[in-house]
Amino acid sequence: MLLKKTGLAIAVFLASVLAYADDQDFMAAREAYRVADIPALVDYSTKLQGNLFAVYADYYLLSRQLDKADGIAVITFLQKYPDTWLAEKLRGEWLVMLAKRGDWPNYQQFYGGLAKPELEHKCYNYTARINTSDKKAASEALAELWLTTKDLPTACDDLFVLLDKSGAISQDDYWARLRLALQNGSVGLSRYLAGKVGVDLSTQRLEQINKSPQLYLAKPDVETAVGHELYLAALNRYARQDLDKAATYWETVQQRFNSEDRPYGWRLLALIAAKQQDSRAVDWFKLSHNVVWSDDDKEWAVRSAIRNQRWDEVLTFLNLLSADKQQDRAWKYWRARAMEGNKDKAKFAQAIYNGLSVDDDYYGLLARDRLGNRISVQPKTYVLTAQDKQVATQNLGLQRALALYTLDLRTEAVREWNWTLRNADDKLLLAAAEQAANVRWYDRAIYAAERTKQLHSYSLRYLTPYEEVTRGYSQDLGLDPAWVYGLIRQESRFVTSAKSGVGAGGLMQLMPTTAQWVANRLKIPYHAGMVNEIGTNVQLGTYYINHVFQQLGNQPVLATAGYNAGPNRAKQWQDPNQALPVDVYTESIPFSETRDYVKKVMTNAVHYALGFGQGPQSITERMGKVIPARNVQTLEGP
């Protein structure tokens, strides 16, 4: 389990890192960069040459003067510090500068070296290609960017203006994007796009459809093309409020739509029905077969058929997915599940399960269960050699990341770490994971260890820090520590100060209201900082997950889903009339975050159980085999 090191060994290792990390000149250079003190940056760039942080000092100086720099200065930096995170960062900044200068030939040359282009860079690159007479650029830009509902950077807006002026955007293109803008409720964009197709849409009219869509549905104006689009937008919005009434409206008016828009209307209803776990989704999706639709929509169709265990339709919808998407492990598993009840196809299902079961992820573990083979051992641990460890110790990117971590510069440390390991081999990944574990940088240790392909260390991949409090509170409540560790690993990766975007904190990512509720139940004086105290966080978190577990009928999957999305949602996702196979319930969870969370927590629990010596494991049995029908009992607590 947790890598064991003596206190002396850890102290020696830390000292070797801190020899670099305790660098006052680097921290002073960082402050000079923040306040744009160029003379100081010149001084620190000289002082830090030969130091682990020389790349930062040189970056700080050049980045602050990039508006006055030339390509030679940038090339010199890139050649001096190749394959570093800061080289990638500076290249991206220089590309923005070239774009602002309109230097498109040089933009294309520098863009070719960018490893991970951001959307801004992609849009500038399309602009560069158009301005250097690349005849394919316009059509490729439209295919990739035009039909998006995401907020786009200014560079993309400028690209669209260029495409418009060049005549590359057709009227059909404008109508297609107008449909998305209307359904998104984007008033400003909708008005602009409507103007491009010669239609004047008032702000008042659009806002009325957004706020009171049923008024438009009750008195539809569908005699014009824009009337059709407004109706579909109103239908989409009202179906979220009242699916039954929206469906009734659509049934009465659908014949007034053409052969492409009619299936599209059914699909709008089907998508909302699928997310509400309404059984009508399957048949409504079947009514929209004959028009183009995205893989995302098709995946919802597959899940709706899985939810209703309509296996023929599962296969039908799976066959509509793109060839690449059909190779996803999830859809391979569900193809086998849909086939296994058919005696003519059962042998094909067995072959798929055999292929999946080679791996030990969620679908691999499920496949083993379908074959009747429990997992009993984890892969053999690769023992690092002295040479493996030396290679990691001599890797400047890793050592710089560790040094930044000891200086509590977590953002920079994580970026350095991830960048350095992006193409690492298994030996370097494991040596890096060991180094991170030794300084208690647990989340990066796991990040490195779980990326290995052939050589593994599951003691690093499934670390068990804070064993005394975690096992202690778990056992006091009768909870399986493997499950609790599976939750913590997924919640925080053992980062004690982790904080989510919605305010959850600590190892078990407790919301303040939840923490206060539990503290009150335990008669512990509550204060806001409690969630970041290791022992208190685990005490409150284990109490709460046990409470949810009991409230939801001692069902691990329901409790896991409830811990992530709220117990009432987990209960609402149960079928009101019948029990569901546990894999069906899990796959049909309508929140993608929660669906992924449940799969990973339960997979983690299997591997922790193996590491704890709990014997051969079946993930299906651990998950509970079936999820019972929903009962009417009111849940207690947050």
Q: Same domain for 171 and 125?
A: no
* Catalytic-residue membership of 491: yes
The confidence score (pLDDT) of residue 6 equals 39
Going 236 to 241 to 243 to 244, the CA torsion angle's sign is negative
Which one from 299, 340, 416, 491 is the annotated catalytic residue? Answer: 491
d(CA 581, CA 626): 4
Whether the predicted pLDDT of 394 surpasses 50 = yes
Q: Which token pair is 328?
A: 């996803």
Q: Which pTM was predicted?
A: 0.93
Q: Same domain for 86 and 203?
A: no
Residue where one domain finishes, among candidates 137, 161, 180:
137
Please, which residues bridge with residue 505 across strands? 499, 510
Q: What is the pLDDT of residues 407-428, one digit of tens each?
A: 999 999 999 999 999 999 999 9
The confidence score (pLDDT) of residue 19 equals 47
Tokens 């904190």 belong to residue: 505
Does residue 334 lie within any of the structural domains?
A: no
The confidence score (pLDDT) of residue 449 equals 98
Q: Same domain for 149 and 58?
A: no
Q: What is the pLDDT of residues 88-144, one digit of tens each?
A: 999 999 999 999 999 999 999 999 999 999 999 999 999 999 999 999 999 999 999
Q: Same domain for 195 and 282?
A: yes
Q: Same domain for 56 and 174?
A: no
Q: Same domain for 196 and 118?
A: no
CATH code for the domain in which residue 31 is found: 1.25.40.10
Residue where one domain finishes, among candidates 137, 161, 185:
137
Whether the predicted pLDDT of 176 surpasses 90 = yes
Mean pLDDT of 326-340: 98
Q: What is the pLDDT of residues 43-79, one digit of tens each?
A: 999 999 999 999 999 999 999 999 999 999 999 999 9
Tokens 């570093």 belong to residue: 84
Domain range for 555: 467-627
Does residue 609 lie within any of the structural domains?
A: yes
d(CA 559, CA 568): 10
Q: Same domain for 291 and 159?
A: yes
Q: What is the pLDDT of residues 230-255, one digit of tens each?
A: 999 999 999 999 999 999 999 999 99
Does residue 111 lie within any of the structural domains?
A: yes
CA 312, chain centre distance (Å):
31
Does residue 636 lie within any of the structural domains?
A: no
CATH code for the domain in which residue 584 is found: 1.10.530.10
- How many domains is the chain built from? 3
Does residue 100 lie within any of the structural domains?
A: yes
Q: Which amino acid is at 568?
A: N
Q: Same domain for 175 and 257?
A: yes
Does residue 217 lie within any of the structural domains?
A: yes
Q: Which token pair is 138?
A: 């316009």
Whether the predicted pLDDT of 17 surpasses 70 = no
Q: What single-letter DSSP state applies at residue 617?
A: B
Does residue 460 lie within any of the structural domains?
A: no
Does residue 445 lie within any of the structural domains?
A: no
The confidence score (pLDDT) of residue 500 equals 83
Q: Same domain for 210 and 304?
A: yes
Residue where one domain finishes, among candidates 137, 169, 202:
137
Q: Same domain for 149 and 83?
A: no
Q: Same domain for 125 and 230?
A: no
Q: Same domain for 133 and 237?
A: no
> Strand, coil or helix: what is 375?
strand
The confidence score (pLDDT) of residue 497 equals 87
